Amino acid sequence: MKYEPVIGLEVHAQLLTASKIFCGCSTQFGREPNANTCPVCCGFPGVLPVLNKKVVEFAIKAGLATHCEITRSSILARKNYFYPDLPKGYQISQYELPVCSNGYVEFELNGQTKKVRLTRIHMEEDAGKNIHDAHGDSSLVDLNRAGVPLLEIVSEPDLRTTEEAGAYLRALRATLQYLGVCDGNMEEGSFRCDANVSVRPAGTDKLGTKIEIKNLNSFRAVERALEYEIHRQSETLEDGGTLVQETRLWDEHREETRSMRSKESAHDYRYFPDPDLLPLVIPDSWIDEIRARLPELPAARRQRFLSQYGLPAYDAELLTSRKDVADYFESALKVRSNAKALSNWIVGDLFRVLKERKLDDQLYIENWPIPARHLAELVQLIDQGKISGKIAKSVFEALLDGDKSPQQIVDEKGLQQVSDTGSIESAIDQVLAANPKQVEQFRSGNDKVFGFLVGQIMKATQGKANPQRVNEILRDKLNPAG
C-alpha cells in the first residue's frame, strides 16, 4: 500500500528585541551564564511582569505579513509544568486567544505556488537552559534565555512532502527576516521547529496517528527527520503494527528518531489567564500604523527583481528567497549594473561553493567567501573585455578566501585578455601552419573544424586571447575572398 504523509510545523522564532518580554534584561546571545537575569525572569516571589510593547508590535508585523487576522483583545495565559529551567513553574504564553490567527504562507516550489494555512501566531516567553554534563555529577541552570520573547507560529497540516516542509520553513524564515523581527539563525536556536507528522493510506481523508518530532536544529535535520519518520510509520503500518501518539526526539548523530514521552494534551498544562497581566487590547490605529510601515516582503521584492532588472523568474526566486542574498545582489549591482551576469555568478558559482562548504543555510554574509564588490568587479572585467569568461572562472576560484580584488589577481597572474590584432594573428598563423589538414577540411565545407581551430588558438594563448577577435580574424584568414 502507498502511504501519504501529512505534515504540520510549529516554529518558535526568537524576536530581535533588545530586552526580554516581561522585564528589562538584555536578550544578547552568548553572554556569561545568568548575566542577563533579574528577579522577574528568575521567578522571585512578589515580582510582576510588564509586557514589552515591542514584542506585540513584532507579533502584529508577523501577523500582517502572513495574512492573519489580528485579535483586538487577547490575553496572556499561564502554561503550567515543572522543569528546572522554568523558575516560575509556568510559562507565560497565549492559549485561547492568540494575537494572530487564520493566516497563510505562500511559496513557489517546482514552478507551482503552494499555500500553507497558519492556525495561529502567539507570543510567549522562552525557558532557560539546563547544562547537564558540565561537571559530570551536577546539573547547572542558565537563565539568560528565560523570558526571551518568542513567536510560536503553528501551521495547519497542509504539507505533503519533506521538500514542501523545507520550502515552507525557508519562506517563513525569509518573511521574518525581511520584517526584521527574527534573525532566523537555526544554529543559535533563534528559529526552531517541531514537526507533527502522520501517514495515511494514499487517497483517504482520515488523519493517521500524529507523532511530534523535537530537536530539529537545521533545515537538513527537519528534512532528514521527516524522511526517517515517514518511512518508519509507513513500515510499521505495512507490517500490521500500530502507532501511538507520542513525542520523539531527532538524534542528529544516529540519524533516527526515538521516543521521548507520550504526547501531553493541552489540559495537562492547566492553562489559565495570567492574573498578573492585563488583557492585551490592540487599537485599529496601531495596526494601521504598523501596516503602513511594513517593509518590502519577499514576494514584492521578487516581483521587483523581475520588472526592474529583467531577471528570469528562476533567478528572482532564488535571489529573493533570503534577504541577505537579495541585499548582496543589490549591493553588487550598485558597483556594476549587469544584473543577469551578476545573478548567474551568484546562483551558479557562488551557491555551488556555499553548498560545498555547507554555508548555504548560514546567515552571515560576512562569512561568505567573496564580498559583493569583488563579484561586481569580476563582472565588470568581463564586460570591459579585459578577461574572457573562461579566465573569469579561474579568477573566481582565486578570489575565494583571498583579500585581493579581481583586478589585482588579473594583474599579478598576467591574465589580461589579449585583444591586439598583431599577437592574435601570429598565434592564428602558427595554429594554421600546424594544422593544414583541418584548414583543408574547413575550406571544403566542414564547418565544425572551425571550433577545433579556435580551441587550438585559445590553448596557444593560454586562454587569454579575446575570443571574439579570434573568431573574426580566423574567419578572415580562412576565407580570404570574404
Smallest distance from the beta carbon of 26 to Zn ion, in angstroms? 9
What DSSP string runs through 191-209?
Answer: EEEEEEEEEEETT--S---
| Cell 528534512, located at residue | 223
Would you state the cell numbers that stand for residue 207, as one nine-digit string? Answer: 488523519
Kindly state the smallest distance separating residue 146's Cβ from Zn ion, in Å.
Answer: 8
Minimum separation from the CB atom of position 30 to Zn ion (A): 17
Question: Taking the complex as a whole, how short is the minimal distance between the CB of residue 131 and Zn ion, in angstroms?
Answer: 19
With contact defined as beta carbons under 8 Å apart, do 257 and 250 qualify? yes
Nearer to Zn ion (CB atom), residue 43 or residue 371: 43
Handedness of CA 150, 153, 154, 160 (dihedral sign): negative
Name which of 23 and 197 has its Cβ closer to Zn ion. 23
CA distance 236 to 465: 64
Minimal distance in Å, beta carbon 39 to Zn ion?
Answer: 7
| In the complex, least distance from residue 62 CB atom to Zn ion, rounded to whole angstroms | 24
Eight-state DSSP code of residue 267? G
By beta-carbon proximity to Zn ion, the closer residue of 145 and 322 is 145
Cβ nearer to Zn ion, comparing 47 with 478: 47
How far apart are the C-alpha atoms of 265 and 187, rounded to whole Å?
Answer: 29
Rounded to a whole number of angstroms, the minimum distance from the CB of residue 137 to Zn ion is 29
Helices (DSSP H) in 311-417: which residue ranges? 313-320, 323-335, 339-344, 351-356, 372-383, 389-399, 406-413
Please report where in the chains the cell 513557489 appears, as a residue. 108
Query: Which C-beta is closer to Zn ion: that of 76 or that of 391?
Result: 76
CB of 220 to Zn ion, least distance (A): 34
Q: How far is the CB of 24 from Zn ion (least distance, A)?
A: 7
How many angstroms separate the CA atoms of 181 and 174, rounded? 11
CA distance 60 to 434: 74
Nearer to Zn ion, 38 or 294 (CB): 38
Nearer Cβ to Zn ion (128/184): 128
Q: What is the DSSP string of 21-88?
A: SSSS-B--TTPSTTSS--TTTTT-TT------HHHHHHHHHHHHHTTPEEPSEE--EEEE---TT-TT
H or E segment to which residue 429 belongs: helix 421-434
Chain contacts with Zn ion (rule: CB under 5 A): 23, 25, 38, 40-41
**Number of other residues whose CB lies within 10 A of the CB of residue 195:** 28
Residue 328: which residues within 8 A CB-CB, separation 6 or more?
A: 346, 365, 368, 372
- Please state the separation of Cα 146 from the chain's center in Å: 26
Is 31 or 357 the residue whose CB approaches Zn ion more closely? Answer: 31
Q: Which is nearer to Zn ion, 25 or 326 (CB)?
A: 25
